[in-house]
């Protein structure tokens, strides 16, 4: 029996514009990307919940792995996210929750997810999170949100994802699983803006105490000594945890401010420009790091001084306007 929460057709599904071809970072991280598409499929405006992008920091060995705060999602859209206690086969939990009309967020292995073809599918075992929307246990079929859109998986890939072939391996620990309940009402346009501004003001109270780009530059300078002796695989891991994290996040921050401007908030253009330039600079620096590592050449880090100045300017503007 086919069960689904939202009736969707993969062939006609239109992804949210945040995942459009014109974006600098077409993908951010798996958790944020799936929530953008899930909210979009529910008919909501995911941009309203993006104030959390302002508060990221350099955490010492990475930039903040940014995520939608679940309390913000509940306040804006009436969606309550609960952890699922896995006490029987995961697929049975997923089937039951989908039957109750609840999307299920579950960690899976990208090696068996066809939408990751060219990066992980049949190439590398990489943990990722998807949002299951559709399930047919008899046919071995699943419809799910992941990265930039909505996809299907079936056959052997489906069986491998949920370890359905053979006896369970006691060394394979259960994944982290959440389910989404409708508990409350989504807000109308005016109320959505007011709640989003409330969340923005809270985020401004939690900004890093010092400019994170200064600390990142100092760490990056030290890391370059060993990066120059590493292979491309290390570049991808290092870049994902640092350059891609803050680059993708500040592009979303610019998107958030653009949404506020569209909804009547004025004077945000300088901050929008600053965050956009930070994001573009991160993409350029990522390419430059790849070339420097392949050629064993020095990397110029002055763009991080520019990013630091842009961060200061944007945050000062937002503090002056909203605090």
Model pLDDT for residues 12-62, shown as the tens digit of each residue: 999 999 999 999 998 999 999 999 999 999 999 999 999 999 999 999 999
Confidence class of residue 171 from pLDDT cuts 50, 70 and 90? confident
Q: Distance between CA 90 and CA 93 in Å, rounded?
A: 5
Q: Distance between CA 317 and CA 323 in Å, rounded?
A: 10
Tokens 């949920």 belong to: 162
Residue 267 is predicted with a pLDDT of: 98
Kindly tell me if the per-residue pLDDT of 172 is higher than 90: no
Kindly tell me if the per-residue pLDDT of 167 is higher than 80: no
Residue 80 is predicted with a pLDDT of: 96
Average pLDDT of span 207-228? 96
Confidence class of residue 136 from pLDDT cuts 50, 70 and 90? very high
Tens of pLDDT, residue by residue over 250-268, are 999 999 999 999 999 999 9
- Strand-strand pairing, 79-83 and 141-146: unpaired
Residue 215 is predicted with a pLDDT of: 98
Residue 166 is predicted with a pLDDT of: 79
Tens of pLDDT, residue by residue over 292-323, are 999 989 999 999 999 999 999 999 999 999 99
Confidence class of residue 186 from pLDDT cuts 50, 70 and 90? confident
Alpha helices in the chain (DSSP H): 30-41, 70-77, 90-99, 155-161, 189-205, 212-227, 232-241, 243-262, 269-295, 302-322
Residue 286 is predicted with a pLDDT of: 97
Q: Distance between CA 178 and CA 138 in Å, rounded?
A: 23
**8 Å CB contact between 250 and 63:** no
3-state secondary structure of 144: strand
């Amino acid at each position: 029996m086919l069960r689904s929460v939202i009736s969707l057709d993969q062939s006609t599904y239109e992804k949210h514009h945040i995942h459009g071809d014109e974006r600098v970072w077409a993908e951010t991280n798996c958790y944020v990307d799936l929530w953008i598409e899930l909210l979009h499929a529910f008919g909501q405006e995911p941009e309203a919940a993006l104030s959390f992008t302002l508060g990221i920091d350099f955490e010492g060995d990475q930039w903040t792995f940014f995520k939608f705060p679940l309390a913000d999602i509940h306040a804006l859209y009436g969606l309550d996210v609960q952890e699922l206690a896995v006490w029987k086969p995961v697929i049975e939990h997923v089937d039951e929750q989908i039957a109750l009309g609840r999307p299920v967020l579950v960690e899976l292995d990208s090696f068996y997810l066809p939408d990751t073809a060219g990066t992980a599918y049949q190439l590398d075992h990489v943990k990722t999170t998807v949002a299951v929307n559709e399930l047919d246990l008899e046919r071995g079929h699943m419809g799910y949100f992941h990265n930039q859109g909505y996809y299907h998986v079936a056959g052997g890939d489906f069986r491998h994802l949920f370890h359905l072939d053979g006896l369970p391996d006691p060394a394979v620990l259960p994944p982290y699983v959440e389910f989404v309940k409708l508990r409350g009402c989504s807000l109308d346009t005016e109320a959505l803006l007011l709640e989003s501004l409330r969340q923005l003001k809270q985020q401004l109270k939690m900004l890093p105490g010092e400019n994170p780009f200064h600390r990142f530059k100092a760490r990056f300078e030290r890391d370059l000594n060993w990066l120059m002796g590493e292979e491309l695989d290390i570049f991808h891991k290092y870049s994902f945890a640092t350059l891609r994290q803050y680059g993708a996040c500040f592009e979303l921050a610019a998107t958030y401010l653009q949404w506020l401007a569209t909804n009547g908030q004025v004077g945000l253009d300088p901050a929008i420009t600053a965050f956009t330039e930070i994001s573009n600079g991160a993409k350029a620096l990522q390419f430059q790091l790849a070339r420097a590592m392949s050629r064993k050449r020095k990397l110029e880090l002055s763009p991080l001084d520019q990013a630091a100045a842009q961060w200061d300017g944007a945050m000062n503007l937002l503090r002056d306007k909203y605090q």
